[in-house]
Structure formats: structure tokens, C-alpha cells
Structure 1
Amino acid sequence: MSQDIFELPSPEGNSIVGNLADLGQDPLGFLTKCAGEYGDIVPLRLGLTPACFLTKPEYIEQVLKDRILFVKSKGLRTLRTLLGEGLLSSEGDYWYRQRRLIQPVFSQKRIAGYGQIMVDYTGQMLDTWQNGETRNVHDDMMRLTLNIVMKCLFNEDVTEGTAKEVAHALDVTMHWFESKRKQGYFVLEWFPRPENIRYRNAIQKMDKSIYDIISQRRASGEEPGDLLSMLMQVKDEDDGAQMTDKQLRDEVATLMLAGHETTANTLSWTWMLLSQHPEVQNKLLQELKEVLEDRSPTVADIPKLRYTDMVIKEAMRLYPPVSTMAREASQDCEIGGYQVPAGCNIMMSQWVMHRSPRYFEEAEKFQPERWANDLEKRLTKGVYFPFGDGPRVCIGKGFALMEAVLLLATIAQKFELSIVPDYAIVPQPSITLRPEYGIKVTLKKR
């Protein structure tokens, strides 16, 4: 007979809010401690919500594979104002229809066409960099990846105003979500608190910009081959229906968040790690010289930039784009023979699994070489999942990896980035894993 998960050993919590305070104050530290001190399933209580934390790869894989039994968590549902019914937040048959419609837009052949945009925009940014200056490279990476995703989505250098509205809305959302997480998602969004008003206003301005672009595109009838025109053209195989303006808006907002924030963070952490490990930086430069000589990289070079790819994989292991994800049990079920009640919040942490000494030798060390000989394929499913897994694996995974490799190669060829001494770099586990105060670096022209 299966055992109730809440009979398993668990960390002590506050009598009223349970483990919510520990999770709110230091989520990465708390979950790492849970993984080290308890079993494969760690029962938790988050206020009135029953929860558990999974540390066994097979259990994580079971949850990520079953999109019907395990739906997106309450935490992510708080982002509906931003994401609407986009792929990241929708469920059930609606999600399945949208995923099926959008999948061809992200075929490897299609996204390869965006490689030149990525390299060109990076070159434009580098033209503004000066030898010896100090910059917040996280701000630079955020601006660059947003400009790239806007160009790929709308095939135009979107006006400074539009890009600003989007950047502002995404930034406000991150801070708003972080404050909600610390409060256990208790504060209702409609309540007229200043941060709620600021959040709604930022989304309204962003929405106006997106709807204006959709409206102009419909009126002109142009099909420039960007992501928006592809999304506008796709038809449902069953009934021939196309996406409404609202559906387009939701998917565009989702792509803007997922398509720039995660890559910007990955690259920011990569610059920090390279600055701390000159031997890795030297090996990277050696590969770039051998493969590219002095020319800019192209999509065709990516299969040969193997060490560059390993550097990105290792950066995403130590600093995953998303540090923790959660699902909610839609009905009573079993995980690994343990009873899990409906409504239970099931937590999984890339941060914890990626740094586990059970699966990685010298797990805390930055060693890109570990990814040689197809380590990713040899790892047990549920150990390394920077883009999630199962049917809801990130649809833009190919786009993001291509972008990260091309941007890293283009920038590393021209500049060495050194962290400003004694600058506090603090991981902030919000929707994504950001450096809370950015990453200050000094530039040195090569």
C-alpha cells in the first residue's frame, strides 16, 4: 500500500505559514538544504497549500511528462496579466492546439534564418563599446537580446518607444512577481497597492504597442517572413481557423519574455564565469581563432564551435535560466508510490539538480569539458533540464541555444570582460534567475 507523502520526514515550519518564510527569504539555499537533509520527496507546507519538493530524477521526469495530471502552478498563473493564454501559461486542449499551430514556426530550418540578425545586432552593440570602460553587462545583454527578439518578431528596427515599453513592462513584471513570491502569492493582483497599479499600467502600455503592430500588419497585408507573419499565417488543420489578435498578442508577449530574458541572463552569468576562469576563456579563444580566424560567426559554424557550446551548457548548469519550476496535481495521484493530494504544489529545482554531487563530479566547479562525449544524452532524464522537459519543453530551445553561441562567439572575439573587483553579484531567483544588481565589468579590446 502506498504511503502518504506527508508522513515522510520534512523541515520544520512556522505554525501559521509553514515553510513559506524560509522559501521566500532564500529559496535556493532552503531547497539545497532540503535536498541534502531529506529524501527523494520532501513534504512542505506553503501557507494553506500542501506542497512537496522532488529531488529524484525519475519523479521529476514523471511530473514533466504528464501535462494533464500535473498542470502549471498557482505561482505561474499569477502572470496571466502578462502572458494571457500563451504557450507558457495555457493548459489542456487549448495549449495542445496552440503548440501544434506554432511548432512549425520554430523548426531548425526556419530559426537558422535569424542567425545573421543576431550577429549583426551584436556587432552594432560592440561598435558602441570603448576600451577600458566599465559597463553593467547584464543591462547590455538585456537590451541586445530584446532588440534581437523584436527584430525577429516584427522584422523592423522597432521604434525606441516600443522597445522601451516592452523592456519596462518585463522589468516591472519581474519585480512584481518577486514581491508576490516573497509574500507567498497572497496579495491579490486587483488590490490597489502601488506595485499592482504599476504592474497593470506597464502591461497596458505594452499591450497597446503590440496591438498597434498587429493592426498595422493586418492592414498592410505584408508578409515579411518574420515570426509575427508566420504566426498570422498558421491554420488549424481541423477547421482552418487562424489566430485572433488576442491569441497573437499572448504568444508574442510570451516569446518576448522567454525569448530575451533567459538568453540575456545565461550570457551575463557566462561573462562572470569566464572572468573568474581565465583558463576556460583561453580555450574558448583558441577555438574561435581556429574555426573563425578573424571573421564573424555564422549559423554554419555552430557545429564546429563545440567548446563554445560546452561553455554555454556549463553556464546553464551552474546558473540555469529558470532556477525552480512547479506544477500542481490536478487530482489525487501517486509519485514514486507515494500518495499526493489534488492541489499539491510540486516543486522541482534546476539549481539543486544541476549542482548535485550525485550526478556531477566536482559539481560546484565551472568545467565546460564535462560536456564532451555527449554527457547530456548520457545523463538520467530529470537531472539537467534548463529548458524544462516533456511535451512542454521550451519551444524556443533551439533559438535560444543558437543565439547564446553566436553572441558569445561574436563578443569574445572582440573584447575581454573582467568583473569589477568586490562588486556584489547576487543571484535573484524570480521568474528567471537574474543577477539582482547586474554584473559590472571592465572592457578590454582584443
Structure 2
Amino acid sequence: MAQDVFDLPGPKGNSLAGNLLEMGADPLGFLTHCARNFDELVPMQLGLTPACLVNQPDLIEAVLRDRDTFIKSRGFRVLKTLLGEGLLTAEGDSWFWQRKLAQPVFHQQRIHGYGHIMVDYTRQMLQGWGDGDTLDIHREMMALTLRIVMKCIFDKDVNEGQASTVAHALDVAMDWFENKRKQGFLVWEWFPRPENIRYRQAIARMDEAIYALIQERREHLGESNDLLTMLMQAEDDATGERMDDKLLRDEVATLMLAGHETTANALSWTWMLLSQNPQVWERLQHELETVLQGRPPAIDDLPQLSYTSNIIKESMRLYPPVSLLGREVAKDTTLGDYQIPQGMVLLLSQWVMHRSPDYFDQADQFWPERWDNNLEKSLPRGVYFPFGDGPRICIGKGFAQMEAVLLLATIAQQFRVQVVPGFEIVPQPSITLRPETGIQVTLNQLTLADKNA
């Protein structure tokens, strides 16, 4: 007979707030403590919400596989004002229908067509960089990946007004979500608090920009092969039904958030780690010089850029673009040997699992070589999942992996990026894992002597 999950040991909490204060103050540290000191399931109370950290790969995989029993948690559902009913937030039949329509759009051969855009836009950015410059590398990566995703979605250089409107809305949304997380999502978003008003105003301006771009594409449909056109033309084989403007808006908003925010963060943490680990930087330079011999990278080079790819994998292990997933239990069920009640929130943490000494030697060390010999395939499912897993695995995984490797290779050919000494870098686990105050770096332009050293 299954045991009640509440019979398992867990962290002591405040009689009123439970563990909400610890979770709000330092979620990554708190969850790591729970994982190291308790069992495979760790029950806790987050205010009025019963929750449970899932700390065992098989159980994590079981949760990610069952999209009907384990749905997106309330904390994530608040994002519907930003993302609507896009793939990240939709559930049930609506999600399945959208996924079926969108899947062919992200076929590997199609997304490979965007590789040259990624490299070209990165080279354009580098024209504005100079030897000795100091800048916020996170801000630079955010701006670059936003330009790239807007180009891939709309097949044009979106003017500054539209791009900045979208970027501002995403920034406001991230800050708003972090504020709500610290409040335990107890303050209703419609309540007229200043941050709620600012959030809704930003979303309204973003919607205006997106709908204008959708209308423009409809007026010139067939003239481009961008992601928006492909989504517009995606058709249900059985009914002939296509996405309407509202659903297109939701998918576009989702693509813009997931398609630039996560890659920008992954690259930002990568530059920090490379700055801290000069031996990795030297090996990266050797691979780039050997494979590329001074020319820009291209799609066909990706199989040979294995160490570059390993650097991205290792960076996403230590600093996963999404550090925590929440799933709400839709009906009473069992997980492993335990009874799980309806309404409980299950916490699945990439940060915790990716740094587990049970599965990674020297788990806190940045060691890209660990990914040699196909380590990823030998790990149990549910240990390394930077893009999620199961039927809801990130649909843009291939796009993001390709982009991260191409951008890293292009930039590292020309500049060494070194964190300003003494600059404090604080991970902010919001919707994605951002550096809270950015990452200040100094640029050193590489000479031929540097590359041959």
C-alpha cells in the first residue's frame, strides 16, 4: 500500500508561512539543502500550498512524462497574461493541437536555415565592440538574441521601436514574476499595485507591436519563409484549421521569451565560467583555430565543434537557463511508493539535479570534458534536463543549441571576455535564471599572436 507523502521527513517551517520565507529568500540554496538532507521526496508547506521537492530521477521523469496528471503550477500559470495560451502555458487538448501544428516548423532542416542569420547578426554586434571596452555582457547577449529571434520570426530587421517595446515588456515581466514569487503568488495580479499596473501596461504595448507585425505579414503572406509565416500556414490535416491571430500572438510571445531569454542567459553564464577557467578558454581557442582556421562558423562546422558544444552543455548544467519547474497535481495519484494529493505542487529543480554529486564527479566544477564519450546518454533520465523532458520538452531545443554554439564560436574568435575583478554576480531564479545585476566584463580583442599562442 502506498505511503502518504506527508509521512516523509521535511524541513521545519513557520507555523503560518510554512517554508515560504526560506523559499522566497533563497530558493536554490533552500532546495539544495532539502535535496541533500532528506529523502527522494521532500514534503513542505509554501504558505497555504502543500508542495514537494522531487529528488529522484525516475520520479522526475514520471512527472514530466504524464502531462495530464501533472499540469503547470499556479506560479507558472500567472504568466498567461504574458504568453496567453501558447505552448508553454496551454494544457490538454489545446496544447496537443498546437504542438502538432508547430512541430514541423521546428524540423532540424528548417531551423538550420537560420544559422547564417545568427552568425551575421553576431558579427554585426562585434563591430561595435572595442579592445578594452567594459560592458554588461548579459545586456549584450539579450539584445543580440532578441534581434536574432525577431529576424527569424518576422524575416526582417524590426525597427527599434518594436524591438525595444518587446524587450521592455519581457524585462518588466521577469521583474514582476520575481516579485510575485517572493510574495508566494499570494497577491492577485489584478490588484492595483504599482508593479501590477506597470506589468499590464507593458503587455498592452507589446501586444500592439505584435499584432501590427502579424497584420503586416498577413498582407504579404507567401513572400517569406519566416517562423510566423510557417505558423500561419500550419494546418490541421483532419480539419484544415489554422491558428487565429490571438493564438499566433501567444505563440509569438512564447517564442520571443523562450527563444531569446534562455539562450542569452546560457551564454552570459558561459562567459562568466570561461573567465574563471582559463584552461577551458585555451582549449576552446585551439578547437576554433583547428576547425575554422579564421573563418566564421557555419552549420556544417557544428559536428566538429564538439568541445564548444560541451562548454554549452556544462554551462547549462551549472547554470541551467530554467532552474526550477513546478507541476500541480490535477488529481489524487501515486508517485513511486507514495500517495500524492490533488493540488500539491511538485518541484523539479534542474539546479539541484545538475549539481548532484550522486551523478557528477566534482559536481561544482566547470569541466566540459565530462561530456566526452556521450555522458548525456549514459545518465539516467531526470538527471540532466535543461530543456525539460517528456512530451513537453522544449520545442525549440535544436534552435537554442545551434544558436548558443554558433554565437559562442563567433565571439570567442575575436574577443576574450573577462569579468571585472570584484564584480558580484548573483543568480536570480525567476522564470529563467538571470544574473540579477548583470555581468560586467572587460573585452580583450584577440590578435593573430593570441590565437597562435
TM-score, L = length of structure 2: 0.98
Name the aligned partner's letter for residue 298 of structure 1: A
Q: How far apart are the structure 2 equivalents of 1:18 and 1:223?
A: 57
Cα distance, 1:445 vs structure 2: 0.4
Residues 292-351 of structure 1: CA deviation (Å, up to 9, x unaligned): 001000000000000000000000000000001110110000011100000110001000
String of CA shifts for 1:199-237, please: whole Å, max 9, x gaps: 000000000000001111112334300000000000011
Determine if contact 2:172/2:202 at 8 Å carries over to the other structure: yes
Q: Which moved more, 1:213-222 or 1:156-165?
A: 213-222
Structure 2 counterpart of 1:309, which letter? Answer: S
**1:260 maps to which residue?**
260
Query: How high is the sequence identity, in percent, across the aligned residues?
Result: 63
Match in the other structure for 1:314: 314
Paired residue secondary structure (2:383): coil
Amino acid at match of 2:266: T
Distance 1:219 1:228 in 2: 13
Q: 2 CA distance for matches of 1:424 and 1:152?
A: 34
Map Cα deviations across residues 84-107 of structure 1 (whole Å, 9 max, x no partner): 000000000000000000000000
Q: Separation in 2 of the partners of 1:364 and 1:217?
A: 47
Aligned to 2:292: 292
Q: What's the CA shift for 1:47? A: 1.0
Which residue is 1:94 aligned to?
94
CA distance in structure 2 between the partners assigned to 1:384 and 1:343 by the alignment: 26
Mapped partners of 1:430, 1:32: distance in 2? 17
Report the equivalent of 1:129. 129
Displaced runs of 4 or more, over 3 A: none
The answer to whether the Cα contact below 8 Å between 2:221 and 2:229 also exists between their aligned partners in 1 is: no
State the match for 1:333 in structure 2.
333
Structure 2 CA distance for aligned equivalents of residues 220 and 144 of structure 1: 26
Residue of structure 2 in register with 1:439 after alignment: 439
Amino acid at match of 1:413: Q
d(CA) in 2 for partners of 1:406, 1:162: 26
Secondary structure of 1:347's partner? strand
**Equivalent residues in 2 for 1:260-409, closer than 5 Å:** 260-409=260-409
2:61 is the alignment partner of 1:38: no
For the residue of structure 1 that corresponds to 2:18, the secondary structure is coil
Question: How far did 1:17 drift?
Answer: 1.1
**Equivalent residue number for residue 62 of structure 1:** 62
Structure 1 equivalent of residue 422 of structure 2: 422
Structure 1: give runs of 5+ residues left out of the alignment. Answer: none
In structure 2, stretches of 5+ residues that fail to align are 447-453
Which residue number in structure 2 is paired with residue 176 of structure 1?
Answer: 176
Q: Is the 8 A contact 2:41 2:55 kept in 1?
A: yes
Which residue number corresponds to residue 12 of structure 2? 12
Distance in 1 between residues matched to 2:223 and 2:81, nearest whole Å: 29
Q: Scaled by the length of structure 1, what TM-score is found?
A: 1.00
Partner of residue 185, structure 1: 185
Q: What CA distance in whole angstroms lies between the structure 1 residues aligned with 2:197 and 2:410?
A: 40
CA distance in 2: counterparts of 1:306 and 1:218, whole angstroms: 41
RMSD between superposed Cα atoms in Å: 0.5
AA at the equivalent of 1:156: K
Contact 2:152 2:226 in 1 (8 A): yes
| Correspondence for 1:144 | 144
Partner SS for 1:416:
strand
Report what 1:218 is aligned to: 218
- Write out per-residue CA displacement over residues 105-155 of structure 1, whole angstroms, 9 at most, x where no aligned residue: 000000000000000000000000010010100000000000000000000
